[in-house]
């Protein structure tokens, strides 16, 4: 049997074909990788545009309620302070209520000082637990809130809620009126707030989160 040798031209041709085949394979792989990278970038760009266009996440982060004032009229002012045992003497004097020669310490804050009546709003979301009329205090609304917080709105002229109603923060529950306890104050609101059945100064509660309140 004779050994056959390939001619040099054929050998060189085979080498050239193999070289082109290898280079072609490398070029194809490189193109494929670039295509994948472009798809990933396009996908990332699309997601980024979604957020840039103002689309918000569907996951809601719960917020802690902040206590607001029981009125919205900016002309309303403090007429009688909360009696604070550690307060200044002048403030304590303005926190004493005189009824038929009987002196009582004010457990809340009395707001008023304008010629006309004004809307009274609830300071937090809650449940109306009581609506009644008192001979001394006028119409009274009591609302229960989270964290054992109770708010009481006294000396009301009109009441727009009833016992058992669910109320939202800022909702009008009535209007300020007069009472037999402080006849000289005109239209006013006596507002009280308790935590775990202890009265606290309302002025120390406003604009604070309910988790920040201490009794």
Are 23 and 124 found together in one domain? no
Task: Report phi then psi at 158, rounded to 5.
Answer: -120, 145
**What is the three-class DSSP state of 211?**
helix
Are 55 and 85 found together in one domain? no
Q: Whole-angstrom Cα distance, residue 189 to residue 169?
A: 17
Are 24 and 130 found together in one domain? no
pTM flag (> 0.95): no
Predicted local confidence at residue 183, as pLDDT? 82
What is the signed CA dihedral for 10, 12, 18, 23, rounded to 10 degrees? -150
Are 138 and 48 found together in one domain? no
Residue 105: which H helix or E strand, with range? strand 102-105
Here the tokens at position 17 are: 């074909």
Q: Whole-angstrom Cα distance, residue 158 to residue 81?
A: 24
Are 55 and 90 found together in one domain? no
Write out the residue range of the structural domain in which residue 49 sits.
Answer: 1-59
**Closest to 142 in 3D by CA, of 151, 97, 188, 65:** 151
Contacts of 116 (CB under 8 A, 6+ apart): 187
Q: What is the pLDDT of residues 148-171, one digit of tens each?
A: 999 999 999 999 999 999 999 999
Here the contacts of 136-142 (C-beta below 8 Å, separation 24 or greater) are 136/99, 136/179, 136/180, 136/181, 137/179, 137/180, 137/181, 137/190, 138/177, 138/178, 138/179, 138/180, 139/174, 139/177, 141/173, 141/174
Predicted local confidence at residue 84, as pLDDT? 92
Domain count along the chain: 2
Partners of 139 in the β-ladder: 133, 156
Query: Which DSSP symbol is given to 165?
Result: -
Determine, yes or no, domain membership for 70.
no
Predicted local confidence at residue 213, as pLDDT? 86
CATH at residue 82: 2.70.70.10
Predicted local confidence at residue 50, as pLDDT? 45
Determine, yes or no, domain membership for 200.
yes
Residue ranges of the chain with pLDDT lower than 70? 1-62, 214-215
């Amino acid at each position: 049997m004779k050994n056959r040798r390939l001619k040099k031209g054929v050998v060189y041709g085979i080498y050239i074909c193999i070289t082109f085949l290898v280079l072609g394979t490398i070029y194809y792989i490189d193109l494929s990788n670039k295509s994948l990278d472009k798809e990933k970038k396009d996908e990332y760009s699309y997601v980024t545009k979604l957020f840039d266009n103002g689309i918000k996440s569907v996951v809601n982060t719960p917020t802690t309620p902040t206590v607001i004032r029981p009125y919205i009229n900016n002309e309303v002012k403090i007429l009688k302070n909360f009696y604070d045992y550690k307060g200044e003497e002048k403030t304590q004097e303005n926190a004493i209520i005189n009824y038929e020669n009987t002196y009582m310490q004010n457990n809340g804050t009395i707001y008023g000082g304008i010629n006309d009546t004004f809307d009274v709003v609830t300071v937090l979301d809650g449940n109306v637990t009581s609506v009644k009329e008192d001979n001394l205090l006028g119409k009274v609304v009591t609302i229960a809130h989270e964290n054992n917080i109770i708010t009481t709105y006294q000396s009301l002229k009109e009441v727009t809620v009833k016992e058992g109603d669910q109320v939202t923060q800022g909702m009008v529950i009535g209007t300020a009126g007069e009472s037999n306890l402080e006849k000289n104050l005109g239209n006013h609101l006596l507002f009280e707030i308790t935590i775990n059945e202890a009265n606290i100064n309302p002025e120390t509660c406003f604009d604070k989160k309910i988790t920040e309140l201490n009794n």
